[in-house]
Amino acid sequence: MLLFVPATTAAQRELPGALPAGRVAPLRLVPWSAGLENGPARPDTLAIGGVRWICRSDSCAAMAPAARPRVAECRLLAEKAGRVTSYGHAGAKLDAEAINACNAPAPSIGSAGMIAKVDPRIPGRGPVVSPGVPELAIVDVRRVGPADPVRVGDVVPVQVLVRNDGRGPARIQVGTPADPGRGEGLMRYSRMLEIRPGSTATFPLDLHATGNRFRGDRYETDIFLFDRSRQAEGPLLPVFTDSDPSDNQWRVSLPFAAPLATRADDECPYGTFGCNRCVADVPATFGHASGSGDLRHPFSFDPASRARNGPTPDAFSVYDHIQGIARLPGLGSENLLALSRNARDPGDAAIYIVAFDGIVSHGDAWKWAVSRRTDEARSYWYYRIPGANHAGGMQALGGLLFVAADCDEGNHCDAFVQIYDVRDPGNARVLGRLVIDGSRGELLVNARRVSSRAAAVGAIRQADGRVLMFVRGRWDDEAERFNGWFFRSSEAVIDEDTRWEYVDGWDNSEMTGGEPRNPWESVQLIGECGTGHIYMIAMGADDNTSFLYRLTERLVAGGRSSELGFEHVRGRGLNPGGIGLTASTRYGGGVHVTPNGQIVSYITDRQPTVGIDEFRYHGPHGD
């Protein structure tokens, strides 16, 4: 459907000096921060000035262009997040007087349509009277031409209708990200028009369908409104002149002709073999998951006795330790978990399948089990992993268990992922082994040669039934980075004949979102209900922190292949508690998705007796 486009009038005329229509101009993004005196009790996301701020009790953070901080934008943040104590980025910050102005009430418009304002950064300067300001809003966006589903590479023409309800004229351009998600953004702008008070203008704009803009089965991007009359110098920024920032941003969402292959299966019930339950609104649910000592409960496992299937585990040396933990959903009385360990000699890496016989659970946190006679376990099955002495992070999809394994402590071997069917814990069956030996080209990542190491593995079933696997490599001291690989099963059924296709290599230099470097020791992939978006929860060697990332996909080669990566979303601490407790994300770490779609976290200490800390969530139990 087309908008009626009126003839150009004196109220809207094209202006010289604007970036040419369709011109791609650089927009460099840098970290911004704002200190808060008393912010939101729970983390919150605020859209202000075209910028997404993530706010916590004492601060807010965002990625935005490196422009001069302005009191007006600071005031918009203060109105929503509370009193601001600092504002800006590494190159420029508001001073104390400007912060006071930021926290002061906004000046009001007088009856004559004039606005009085004080610039606190010029000592002794009195009120400066300026002409009336515009109040701008995007009021409609219409697609031009047929309403066919969008394909990768399409150019989608739209018309953007902007209205000026204020008392002053404005010089306006609209723009859209030319290629979002690539670290340094680019904007594509329309022509510039002047809009007088009480008038509207229509801007033709082309949206370019690149792979980063596809989310599940939708093509999504944003259109921003730029008031150029208030920015004679520097990069264009979205400037919001009213109290509702959403007026100056428009989300476009259109059907995609070919849904992304990396959409998660968000329909499988809890406990399904080869698939985990989805989580609604993953960032919010992750925020409800607790890391506090108040919602922590300790459990323990002592492998001193002989394994139920016969083998006697090797004694732990000073270098041996537990490395991974995973609840096994849908099995037994919901009282089983797997632990991985490393050892001194190749062939002595192993997994324990531990039965907490005193617990009968409904799949929720064990602290809230239906019956819990004891918090200790001594009953287990033991399975060595031939060819490796280091078993790392792992993930269970129901009774399908993925375990990363390699060699360390001076031993050498090709890293691999061992895949088990553990539905019968006493007779766990190896379904296959994915060896990372370079035969698929996986040992060359971003034109850099990498070693065959495997610290952790995460897995998830896609909407098409196949399994996507991410294997995290080891830390490279020389390059000061770590890498990983994405693989996808050739078919939906995982068995001895399953082939694993190499999808993409990745290293943490590609990370977006500003997350500090942290060598992950465990990674778990989870799907979001409704959208099918895939997220990863990772725990690492530093800080006892759990990190949340969103899987990103950039379609290349006309949509025939993908470049996959991660975007940092947020993090939260895990407090293992009192003196003498050594549980840490450095050793076993993992998460469990409950039948009601909540997230429970687990970390372990190093050696037997193995302490296990369970972190519940803020939920219906109220404790």
Tokens encoding 475: 């830390």
Q: Which of 144-153, 165-174, 483-492 has the lowest mean pLDDT?
A: 144-153
* pLDDT at 560 (0 to 100): 59
Q: Which of 11-15, 93-97, 251-255, 590-594 has the lowest mean pLDDT?
A: 11-15
Q: Read out DSSP for 219-239?
A: EEEEEEEEEGGG-SSSS----
Sign of torsion, CA 66 138 157 21? negative
First to last CA, the chain: 54
| pLDDT averaged over every residue in the chain | 78
* pLDDT at 237 (0 to 100): 41
Cβ(504)–Cβ(485) below 8 Å = yes
Cβ(391)–Cβ(385) below 8 Å = yes
**Residue 539: beta bridge partners?**
522, 546
pLDDT tens digits, 339-382? 999 888 888 899 999 999 999 999 999 999 999 999 999 999 99
CA 455 to CA 473: how far, in whole Å?
A: 6
Q: What is the pTM of this model?
A: 0.63
Q: How many Cα neighbours within 13 Å face the side chain of 248?
A: 24
Give the range with max mean pLDDT: 215-224, 227-236, 579-588.
Answer: 215-224
Percent with pLDDT over 90 in the chain: 34
Phi, psi of 388, rounded to the nearest 5 degrees: -140, 150
Tell the residue number behind the tokens 């402590």, with chain if given: 409
* pLDDT at 50 (0 to 100): 55
Tokens encoding 517: 């470097």
| Other CB atoms within 10 A of residue 426 CB | 11
Give the range with max mean pLDDT: 35-39, 148-152, 228-232.
Answer: 35-39
- The burial of 155, by beta-carbon neighbours within 10 Å (0-12 exposed, 13-18 middle, 19 or more buried), is given as exposed
Phi-psi map region of 543: left, alpha, beta (phi>0 left; psi -120 to 50 alpha): left
CA 266 to CA 264: how far, in whole Å?
A: 6
Residues 6+ apart with CB under 8 A from 102: 71, 74, 75, 77, 78, 84, 87, 94
pLDDT tens digits, 119-128? 322 333 333 3
Q: Which residue has the higher pLDDT, 40 or 273?
A: 273
* pLDDT at 15 (0 to 100): 37
3-state secondary structure of 412: coil
Sheet-wide strand order for 92-93: 44-48, 51-55, 59-65, 29-36, 84-89, 92-93
What the chain holds in terms of domains, given with CATH numbers, is 12-25+132-255 (2.60.40.10), 26-125 (no CATH), 282-615 (2.115.10)
Q: Which of 4-13, 52-61, 282-291 has the lowest mean pLDDT?
A: 4-13
Q: What is the Cα 493 distance to its own chain's centre?
A: 29
pLDDT-based confidence at residue 129 (cuts at 50, 70, 90): very low
* pLDDT at 61 (0 to 100): 86
Phi-psi map region of 544: left, alpha, beta (phi>0 left; psi -120 to 50 alpha): left
Tokens encoding 497: 């004949």
Tokens encoding 545: 């922190």
* pLDDT at 63 (0 to 100): 76
Residues 6+ apart with CB under 8 A from 493: none
* pLDDT at 108 (0 to 100): 41
* pLDDT at 20 (0 to 100): 43
Q: Which of 5-19, 211-225, 251-265, 448-462 has the lowest mean pLDDT?
A: 5-19
CA 256 to CA 285: how far, in whole Å?
A: 27
For the segment 293-312, the average pLDDT, to the nearest whole number, is 88
Cβ(546)–Cβ(480) below 8 Å = no
CA 605 to CA 374: how far, in whole Å?
A: 19
**Residue 487: beta bridge partners?**
469, 502
* pLDDT at 260 (0 to 100): 57
CA 219 to CA 145: how far, in whole Å?
A: 17
CA 168 to CA 105: how far, in whole Å?
A: 22
Give the range with max mean pLDDT: 104-118, 136-150, 271-285, 607-621.
Answer: 271-285
pLDDT-based confidence at residue 518 (cuts at 50, 70, 90): low
Q: Is the pLDDT of residue 18 over 50?
A: no
Tokens encoding 262: 């990396």
